[in-house]
Amino acid sequence: MSDMRDAIGLRAGWKNFAETQYEFEPATGTLWGYMNQRGNPCFNLGLLKEIRNVGNELTANSGHLDFEGAMHKVHTYVAASRVPRVFNLGGDLALFMLLIRARDRDALAHYARLCIDNIHSQIQHYQCPTLTTISLVQGDALGGGFEMALCSDVIVAEESAMLGLPEILFNLFPGMGAYSLLARRASPRVAEELILSGKMLPAARLHEMGIIDVLAKDGEGEAAVQAWIAKNARRRSGHQAVMRVRQQVNPITREELDAVADTWVDCALRLEDRDLRMMSRVVRAQMERMDAAAAAYAPVPAAGIAMAAG
């Protein structure tokens, strides 16, 4: 069975958790990781821990995984989502509001560290220099969702996807790597413009800016990822070496990310009631959007979240 699957290039389930599902494609050595949340598709503590556990396993096994009784090399790790039209809506704002009102700096810092654990591990390719990371954005990626996409080597996005950093709408900023990652992919000026505007931009615009690497038609994102993997299979070693050089020449260190996260915690604790009310409006807009999607099998427009600030 395994030999037949390898021969025809199919993939099969590897692990399923409460918030994530993983599939492995032996023929190409591709691990597909899908966020698949039932509630608000944000980075809650459960999702962060599940992603971290898989990353730890890749690190411990030097980029290999146990599949059908044998160890297989993972050449490519693809982060994606099975939530219709949503990649990830970012930080757990409901949790933030509780912790800010409780003045619980330690808990806010703990949340930030979990985020940085995942971001830095992905930037470092899980300590495996021959592993390539890809983010497949088939829906909206806001705040931390955009940050997660940015920490991959390659971003593939479908045309209808909207990406942005709305935190400034409630007087905060994206503190889990957005500035560091955008400054390297584009420039510090572009990073600040995107962060301070709070705007959501279409994937096509970000592709023009060089932030998204591959623009795919709607419904063709996975095919675009597979095409990219096939195209680069013969030059995999060279491509992976360039990704290592990128980090060597312009490194994003754990110390840098931790320092920015500390600034984020300080900023969060300075939020006033009016800021928290705005954050609450964004949470309601997100929940209403997901309720509408569940009821009608079609999400409300992405702009609805931005309109919550109007």
DSSP result, 73-111 = E--EEEEEE-STTEEE--B-HHHHHHHHHTT-HHHHHHH
- C-alpha radius of gyration, the chain, whole number: 19
On average, the pLDDT of the chain sits at 92
- Greater pLDDT, 306 or 151: 151
Q: Which two tokens stand for residue 134?
A: 């890809």
Task: Say if residue 49's pLDDT is above 90.
Answer: yes
Could you tell me the sign of the dihedral formed by the alpha carbons of 35, 197, 212, 152, in that order? Answer: negative
Residue 103 pLDDT more than 50?
yes
C-alpha 144/C-alpha 190 separation (Å) is: 17
Contact 170, 188 (CB under 8 A): no
Query: Is pLDDT above 60 for 3?
Result: no
> Cα(181)–Cα(165) distance, rounded to whole angstroms?
13
Residue 55 has pLDDT above 80, yes or no: yes
Q: What is the pTM of this model?
A: 0.90
Q: How confident is the model at residue 216 (pLDDT cuts 50, 70, 90)?
A: very high
Compute, in degrees rounded to 10, the torsion defined by CA atoms 190, 163, 200, 220.
Answer: 120
Average of per-residue pLDDT across 75-94: 96
| Closest to 225 in 3D by CA, of 33, 21, 2, 16 | 33
Quick one: pLDDT at residue 7?
38
Given a cut of 90, whether residue 121 has pLDDT beyond it is yes
Residue 310, pLDDT score: 35
Residue labelled with tokens 């840098």: 256
Mean local confidence (pLDDT), 134-148 = 97
Q: What is the CATH number of domain 2-273?
A: 3.90.226.10
For residues 260 and 173, give the distance between their C-alpha atoms in angstroms, rounded to a whole number. 10
Find all residues with CB under 8 Å of 77, minimum gap 6, and list them. 30, 31, 33, 58, 126, 131, 132, 133, 134
Tokens of 153: 């080597």
Alpha-carbon gap, residue 146 to 179, rounded angstroms: 11
For 250, which DSSP code?
Answer: S
pLDDT digits (tens, 9 = 90+) for 245-299: 999 999 999 999 999 999 999 999 999 999 999 999 999 988 887 887 777 655 4
User: Quick one: pLDDT at residue 285?
Assistant: 87
The SS3 assignment for 65 reads strand
Q: What is the mean pLDDT of residues 60-80?
A: 96
pLDDT score of 75: 97
What are 106's two structure tokens?
């330690």
Residue 6 has pLDDT above 50, yes or no: no
Residue 130, φ and ψ in degrees, nearest 5? -105, 20
pLDDT of 195 above 70: yes
Residue at 273: amino acid letter = D
> Which tokens belong to 186?
């584009």
**Largest pairwise CA distance in the chain:** 60
How far is it, in rounded angstroms, from Cα 133 to Cα 76?
6
Specify the length of the chain in residues: 310
Going from N- to C-terminal start, the domains of the chain cover: 2-273
Residue 308's pLDDT is 42
Q: What's residue 297's pLDDT?
A: 53
Residue ranges with strand state E in 105-171: 132-137, 140-142, 154-158, 162-164
At residue 38, the pLDDT reads 87
pLDDT for position 9: 58
Q: Count CB-CB contacts under 10 A for residue 273.
A: 8
- The pLDDT of residue 57 is above 90: yes
